[in-house]
Structure 1
């Protein structure tokens, strides 16, 4: 997903095969990945929930393997995505937060031991 965002992919095509108990969770997680990368998503599911969303996560079409007789889905998905902070810097912010936490923990440990 990160490479798709860095490459300014306009549409993500995702294949899925889930089971009934987790179909909603998997469908929502795929949408989150598309939104953070600024891409539209067309997620085909041979079992589970298939969905198409734009770069803002708005549902354009959806179908459920377990409840729909019709297993074909047609949606007009935007071809162009948008740039997002995550697609540009990736996990850099998360790694900086982890490094800051490690630094604060080391400082607290030094003060507790009495080195400072």
Structure 2
């Protein structure tokens, strides 16, 4: 496996975006097939497994307890994204560019 089975992420967000940042980190963990332990000096700290299941969470703004303990799996899985990365997205961009070039090819006037 070419990627780490656990990703450690440090964060420092403000209250208005704490949930969005925590969810985005979970999405990236699932996308890449690894467990995540995301500590937050301010914001929402969370630990999830490679399938996105929450193992522990704490919120800096909602609790006085700032310590989080979680048993995080040390084995990840290989996902399609972890193998090919953004290759599919870049192929789509290349296809769009090729189609645009085909449409904007040599400009011909009608009747000539």
Q: TM-score, normalised by structure 2?
A: 0.92
Over alpha carbons, which structure has the higher Rg?
2
Shift >3 Å, 4+ stretches = none
Deviation at 1:28, TM superposition (A): 0.8
> Equivalent of 1:45, from 40, 43, 54?
40
**Aligned pairs, number:** 109
> Equivalent of 1:81, from 67, 76, 87?
76
Instruction: Give the unaligned 5+ runs of structure 2.
Output: none
Deviations along 1:59-89, whole A, 9 cap, x unmatched?
1110000001111111111100000011111
Counterpart for residue 24 of structure 1: 19
- How far apart are the structure 1 equivalents of 2:7 and 2:21? 15
SS of the aligned residue for 2:71 comes to coil
SS of the aligned residue for 2:104 comes to helix
- How far apart are the structure 1 equivalents of 2:108 and 2:73? 60
Counterpart for residue 90 of structure 1: 85
SS of the aligned residue for 1:7 comes to coil
Q: TM-score, normalised by structure 1?
A: 0.89
Of Structure 1 and Structure 2, which has the larger fraction of its residues in helix?
1
SS of the aligned residue for 2:105 comes to helix
Instruction: Give the unaligned 5+ runs of structure 1.
Output: 1-5
Counterpart for residue 3 of structure 1: none
Deviations along 1:76-108, whole A, 9 cap, x unmatched?
111000000111111111110000000011111
